[in-house]
Structure 1
Amino acid sequence: MAQEILNQDEIDALLSSISGGASPAGSPAATDSPASAGNQAAGQDIHKKIKIYDFKRPDKFAKEQLRTLNRIHEAFSRLVTTYLSTSLRTVVHFEVVSVDQLTYEEFTRTLSNPTFLSIVSLGTLEGSSVIEMSLNLIFTILDKLFGGQGRTLDQLRILTDIEQSVISKVIVKVLEFFKESWLQVIELSPKIEFIESNPQFTQIVPPNEMVLLVTFEVKIAEAEGIMNLCIPYIVLEPIITKLTTQAWFKPKKKEISSENLLNIESKLKSVKIPVIVELGKSGLDVEEFLTLGKGDIIKLNTKASDNLNVVVNGSLKFRGRPGKKGKKVALVVRETIKDDEEALNI
């Protein structure tokens, strides 16, 4: 059988049709067969499903985990809003605007120099995190704490040692609310390691390491700015499975440690309760009560030889005989009242 050889014109036509996405005339692909139409539709579906993925910046947090983290920090923002509004005596707006994942290098590139950076250790989780706040907000807070109107500086600068000491106390309080908002997931022990103003000196993780970035919008009086909370993925990795809606709403049993039990027991033992010894009871009509005076005798329903009721916090618990110890009246307990006997006496 002789082999058919294409000439140059036919080769050029074939190459141009392939580059143009069309089949050459007379070829099987050019026919309007159902199989050909199905293949084209399948090819279009494949193209629609393609998603660009950057291997230099892989996503570490799933969408459900980001939603849980957003919920945690919304609770945190509400606590901080109440605290700042009370302590600064002004209207404070503090809310989450975004929860995102990016590389640490991308985070540091967005920071100005100088700025306010607090490096925080989380205690229970290994590693450090960063709290960054706009300097105009920092100086507004300081001005309010020092008795001013809450004005910021025209030209921002690095904080003095005194200013750092004052603002550190505010951050410590903020970290208490951060700990409280994370209690549903894990008990943290956040603590300030050091305060820095230059982002280049806060390399807590390698530049390409993925981090969680929570951005808060903050308004204090007339000042506006943002606060960033940066937590590396390697810090949250041990508890990443807990950052789900199911784990978030799952009821947890609170375990009481032996130390807490001893503490509760010692506090209960020091509680004072009223103890009353009843000599007896009697009944008077209104006329007898109105004519009652000094020297009158009221006859009780008990005999001199009867044991007296001892009422503890409104409940009958003991019976005993009155007597004297030293110079004070006393009582010797002769009988303990059980719960069923107490019910009968009531």
Structure 2
Amino acid sequence: MSMLSQEEIDALVNQLAAPETEEKTETKRVKSFDFRFNKRLEKFTTNHLHTLRTLHDNYTRLLNNALSVYLRTRVEATIIGIEQISYGDFIASIGVPSILSIFSMDPLPGSGIVQLDLNLTFSIIDRLLGGPGWLPQKLRDLTDIERTLMQRFMARVLSSYREAWSHFLTLSLRIEALDSNPQFIPRIIPLDQMIAYVSCEVKIGEMTGIMNFCLPYLVLQSIAAQLSEFQWSGSVMAGRGMTEEDVAELARNVERAEVSVSVELGRTEVALKELLELAVGDVVLFDVPTSKALVARVNEHEKFQVFVGANRDKYAARVASIVWAEE
């Protein structure tokens, strides 16, 4: 049996006394990455979006004037947002059914899309058919007649759109397709390509809805430099001012607009039993003295105090005073 030397014994003792060496492990940092959207995919600059915002602010002013005359009621359109997203995200965000209209933008290559929600669409159709803008009991696809009416309406929408662009570029806009299902419309660009997404709130009478524009970067790419450098001036800038021509055109449009005028003879309350027993020749008395002026309404808003009489075998109302709206 061999004996360990003093050096070997000291080496074993030192080895046992030494602390265990922990292996250093490298912690890998995981970065989140959204494959649908990346800064490197962005195409529109801040200047691009600013110019497009100003253009569309001016567009809503033109649209309000044109549609107020066309639909014979007050129309208020305002831009609520503009951003760049992928075409795929735009298609995924569209509710079904929803009215989609693809339009060409000659001389620019490709097409754009304007989308209307269905509530707003049916309210417009009802007004075009002479109604007050009511909705059907159940939302559905459009009939052939309704589709034709919406094509004419979209033509008016694009007419104002062309006028708004005319301060920047002369375009010829033409409707290429109109459908209520995004799956049935042609794909205008690949899903991963970027678009300028312009969202607009539109109030027509008492109905409020959303109208969206899809403008692909591939369509606007050829004028990207001009979008960055263009300076809006005068009445065009943010739609805040109006030239004399604008005022004259607005006055002509207002003069052609038709409004509804009605006079309320009076109100009263009767028992249901009395109402059921009413017959021809019975008289219902209102709690309004004949010496008191009646209320005349214009588009359901009180505007005049009038006295009712007859003129050439027809009922007539003579204006006694004007009701000024409270500020």
Return the TM-score normalized by structure 2: 0.60
Flag the structure with more relative contact order, 1 or 2, with Cα contacts below 8 A and sequence separation at least 6: 2
d(CA) in 2 for partners of 1:184 and 1:86?
Answer: 23
1:285-317, Cα deviation, whole Å (9 max, x unpaired): xxxxxxxxxxxxxxxxxxxxxxxxxxxxxxxxx
Aligned mate of 2:101, from 102, 118, 128: 118
- Which residue of the partner structure matches residue 235 of structure 1? 219
Aligned mate of 1:173, from 142, 152, 156: 156
d(CA) in 2 for partners of 1:214 and 1:170?
Answer: 19
Alignment of 1:94-113 (within 5 A): 94-113=77-96
Deviation of 1:99 after TM superposition, in Å, equals 0.7
Q: What amino acid maps onto 1:91 in structure 2? A: R
- The answer on whether the counterparts of 2:199 and 2:211 sit within 8 Å (CA) in structure 1 is yes
Give the secondary structure class of the aligned counterpart of 2:230. helix
- Which residue of the partner structure matches residue 117 of structure 2? 134
Give the secondary structure class of the aligned counterpart of 2:198. strand
d(CA) in 2 for partners of 1:70 and 1:133?
Answer: 19
Deviation of 1:118 after TM superposition, in Å, equals 0.7
Aligned mate of 1:218, from 202, 206, 209: 202
d(CA) in 2 for partners of 1:218 and 1:170?
Answer: 14
Give the secondary structure class of the aligned counterpart of 1:101. strand
Give the secondary structure class of the aligned counterpart of 2:52. helix
Which is worse superposed, 128-137 or 87-96? 87-96
Alignment of 1:16-27 (within 5 A): none
Number of aligned residues: 213
Deviation of 1:210 after TM superposition, in Å, equals 0.9
- Which residue of the partner structure matches residue 146 of structure 1? 129
Q: What amino acid maps onto 2:175 in structure 1? A: I
Deviation of 1:201 after TM superposition, in Å, equals 2.1
Cα 1:66/1:51, change in 2 over 3 Å: farther
d(CA) in 2 for partners of 1:175 and 1:11?
Answer: 75
Larger Rg: 1
Moved over 3 A (4+): 7-12, 50-57
CA RMSD in angstroms comes to 2.7
d(CA) in 2 for partners of 1:148 and 1:229?
Answer: 28
Deviation of 1:103 after TM superposition, in Å, equals 0.8
Deviation of 1:55 after TM superposition, in Å, equals 7.9
- The answer on whether the counterparts of 2:202 and 2:209 sit within 8 Å (CA) in structure 1 is yes
- Which residue of the partner structure matches residue 189 of structure 1? 172
d(CA) in 2 for partners of 1:161 and 1:8?
Answer: 90
- Which residue of the partner structure matches residue 46 of structure 1? none
- The answer on whether the counterparts of 2:36 and 2:192 sit within 8 Å (CA) in structure 1 is no
Identity %: 36
Q: What amino acid maps onto 2:176 in structure 1? A: E
Q: What amino acid maps onto 1:198 in structure 2? A: N
- Which residue of the partner structure matches residue 280 of structure 1? none
d(CA) in 2 for partners of 1:61 and 1:241?
Answer: 11
Alignment of 1:298-317 (within 5 A): none
Cα 1:52/1:74, change in 2 over 3 Å: farther
Which is worse superposed, 102-111 or 179-188? 179-188
d(CA) in 1 for partners of 2:184 and 2:202?
Answer: 25
- Which residue of the partner structure matches residue 294 of structure 1? none
- The answer on whether the counterparts of 1:117 and 1:131 sit within 8 Å (CA) in structure 2 is yes
Give the secondary structure class of the aligned counterpart of 1:166. helix
Give the secondary structure class of the aligned counterpart of 1:80. helix
Q: Which runs of 5+ in 2 are unaligned?
A: 1-14, 235-327
- The answer on whether the counterparts of 1:96 and 1:214 sit within 8 Å (CA) in structure 2 is yes
Q: What amino acid maps onto 2:218 in structure 1? A: I
Cα 1:155/1:240, change in 2 over 3 Å: same
d(CA) in 2 for partners of 1:174 and 1:211?
Answer: 20
Cα 1:155/1:62, change in 2 over 3 Å: same
d(CA) in 1 for partners of 2:142 and 2:161?
Answer: 24
d(CA) in 2 for partners of 1:86 and 1:250?
Answer: 27
- The answer on whether the counterparts of 1:184 and 1:248 sit within 8 Å (CA) in structure 2 is no
Q: Which runs of 5+ in 1 are unaligned?
A: 20-49, 252-346
- Which residue of the partner structure matches residue 299 of structure 1? none
Give the secondary structure class of the aligned counterpart of 1:148. coil
d(CA) in 1 for partners of 2:71 and 2:140?
Answer: 22
Cα 1:199/1:8, change in 2 over 3 Å: farther
For the pair 1:93 / 2:76, whether they are aligned, the reply is yes
Deviation of 1:185 after TM superposition, in Å, equals 2.2
Give the secondary structure class of the aligned counterpart of 2:106. coil
